[in-house]
Amino acid sequence: MMTNYTNYSSYRDALNNSEITCVDQVKSFLKEIDAQKHLNAFLETFDETALAAAQKVDQKLKEGNAGRLAGMVIGIKDNLCYKDHKLSVSSKILSGFTSLFSGTAVERLIAEDAIIIGRLNCDEFAMGSSNEKSAFGPVLNPYDTTKVSGGSSGGSAVAVAANLCHASLGSDTGGSVRQPASFTGTVGLKPTYGRISRWGLVAYGSSLDQIGPFTKSVEDSALLLEVIAGADEYDTTAAQNEVDTYADFKFEGQKKIAVLRDAIDSEGLSGSVKERFNEIIEKLKSDGHTIEIVDFPLLNQMVPTYYVVSNAEASSNLSRYDGIHYGYRSEGAKDIQSTYVKSRTEGFGTEVKRRIMMGTFVLSAGYYDAYFAKAQKVRRLIQDRTKEIFAQYDFIMTPTTPHVAFELGHNADNPVAMYLEDIFTVHANLAGNPAISLPLGKDKQGMPFGIQVMAPFFEEKKMFAMADNMMSM
C-alpha cells in the first residue's frame, strides 16, 4: 500500500533516507490514478515524461544538487500550458491542441525539480462551480461519489484529496481553487492578484484570474507559492513586489480578525457550517485573539458584480477560438462565416456559450453603462470597503462555502443557484486580496467544508502563519 505523505517535508526525508525513489513514487501514483479513474480527475497522465523526469531527479538527489521541490509530483489544471503536451481547457473547441510553450508557473516548478504527472479535469474554460461542465464528464467527490467535487478546479482538488499526487495547480477567478478545496478537505490558496504570473494560463476573466495550489498542508502551500511567485517579463500584470520567504512563516502574537456579519447571517448558511464556524471563533477568542463582527452590506452585490465583469472579459478572451487558427473546426462549415458560427456553436458547451452571450450583452451599445460600467463602480466600492476593514484588522474570516458538496445534477437546471455557490469566495477576486481555504470542518455525514482567511495585499506570509495556527483547531 502506497504511503500517503501529509506534507512534502516527510516525503523529502524519505527520499533522502533512500526509503523511496522518485521513480517508485511516480509509478505508485500512476497505479493509484488508474485504480481511481472513476473519479475522472485526470484527463491524461504524462507517463513517459514524468518517469523520465523522476529518473533525472533521483540522480540529482544522489549527487546532492536537487531543487527545492525535488520529486514533488504535481498535477496541473487543464488550462495551464506545458510544452509539447496537450491542452484542452476541458473543451471540445481545443481538441487536438498541443501547447507550444510552458507557462511561467509550470516552468518554475520544473526548475526546482518538481515532476508534472498529468493534466486535470475542470469545468470548461474554468466556468463552473461543480466541475459538471467539463466536455469530458464531471469529477466525482472522493468522500461521496454521488456528490460534486466543486469547480472549476475540481480535478485539481480531487487529485490531492484522493492521494493521486502530492499537490496540484488550479486557477481561481471567483473561488475556483477555494470552493473545491472546501468540498474536498484540502488546502486551497488564491494569492494576491498578480503575485503569480498568468503567462501560460488560458484566460477567462483577466482582471480576476490567479493561479493557486492545492495541498494537504499550509507549509506546502507556502513553499509552492515561494517557488512560483514573482515578476515575469511575459506578464505585465505580474507584481514587481519582492517574493517573501513564505515557507519560513512563524506565528507570533494575538491578531485582530473581522468576521462579516452578512456572511454569518446569510440565509443559505448550513447549520453544520455555522456551528463549526462559531466554535472556531470561540477558540480564537480563548487563545487571546480579538474577533469582531463588521458590516459588509455589499455581500449580495458581489456575485452579480462578479458575473458581469467576468463574463464581459470572457466574451473578449474567448473570441480567439474561431475554428480557423487551431482546435475544433466544424465538418459542416462551407465558408468563413459558417466556419465561425458552426465551429463555435458545436465546439463550446452550453455554459460557456451562456457566459459569452451574457458578456457580449453587457458590453453592447445601450447596455454598457447600465451593466458593465455600473459593475465596475460597485467593484470599486467593494475594494474601498475591504481596504477600510484591513486598516483596522489583520484578517477577514468567513466560511469558504455555505454548505458541503451537493449532489450531482442538483443545480444543473438552475444557473443562478449555481452562481450563488461563489457568494463567499468572489470577494477576494473582486478586491484582489489573498485568501486561503482551510479544511477545518465536517458535517454529520463526514463531508468536509472549509473556513476562509483573507489578508491584505501581499501579506501571504502572515496569512500562512495564521492559517497554520488554525489547522490544529
pLDDT in tens, 287-322: 999 999 999 989 999 999 999 999 999 999 999 999
Which candidate in 90, 102, 152, 343 is catalytic?
Answer: 152
Residues 381-436: pLDDT tens digits? Answer: 999 999 999 999 999 999 999 999 999 999 877 888 888 899 999 999 999 999 99
- The mean pLDDT value for 9-29 works out to 98
Q: Which domain holds residue 186?
A: 1-473
Which candidate in 176, 182, 217, 315 is catalytic?
Answer: 176
Q: How confident is residue 148, by pLDDT bands cut at 50, 70 and 90?
A: very high
Q: What's the CATH number where 71 sits?
A: 3.90.1300.10
**What confidence score (pLDDT) does residue 325 get?**
85
**What confidence score (pLDDT) does residue 411 get?**
83
**What confidence score (pLDDT) does residue 416 get?**
83
Q: How far apart are CA 203 and CA 126, in angstroms?
A: 9
**What confidence score (pLDDT) does residue 267 get?**
85
**What confidence score (pLDDT) does residue 228 get?**
98
Q: pLDDT exceeding 90 applies to what percent of the chain?
A: 95
- The mean pLDDT value for 368-372 works out to 96
- The mean pLDDT value for 247-254 works out to 96
- The mean pLDDT value for 102-116 works out to 98
Question: How many domains would you assign to the chain?
Answer: 1
Asked if 364 is an active-site residue, the reply is: no
Instruction: Find, among 353, 417, 421, 454, the residue nearest to 152 by Cα.
Output: 421
**What confidence score (pLDDT) does residue 415 get?**
86
- The mean pLDDT value for 250-279 works out to 95
Asked if 91 is an active-site residue, the reply is: no
Query: Exposed, middle or buried, 168 (CB in 10 Å: 0-12/13-18/19+)?
Result: buried
Instruction: Find, among 151, 184, 152, 153, the residue nearest to 168 by Cα.
Output: 153
Q: Is the pLDDT of residue 121 over 90?
A: yes
Asked if 462 is an active-site residue, the reply is: no
Residues 163-180: pLDDT tens digits? Answer: 999 999 999 999 999 999
Residues 198-232: pLDDT tens digits? Answer: 999 999 999 999 999 999 999 999 999 999 999 99
What HEC string does 165-222 produce?
CCEEEEECCCCCCHHHHHHHCCEEEECCCCCECCCCECCCCCCCCCEEEEECCHHHHH
Q: Which whole-number Å values give the CA distances from 424 to 182, 317, 454, in the listed order?
A: 12, 25, 11
- The mean pLDDT value for 280-291 works out to 98
Q: How far apart are CA 79 and CA 90, in angstroms?
A: 8
Q: How far apart are CA 363 and CA 314, in angstroms?
A: 11
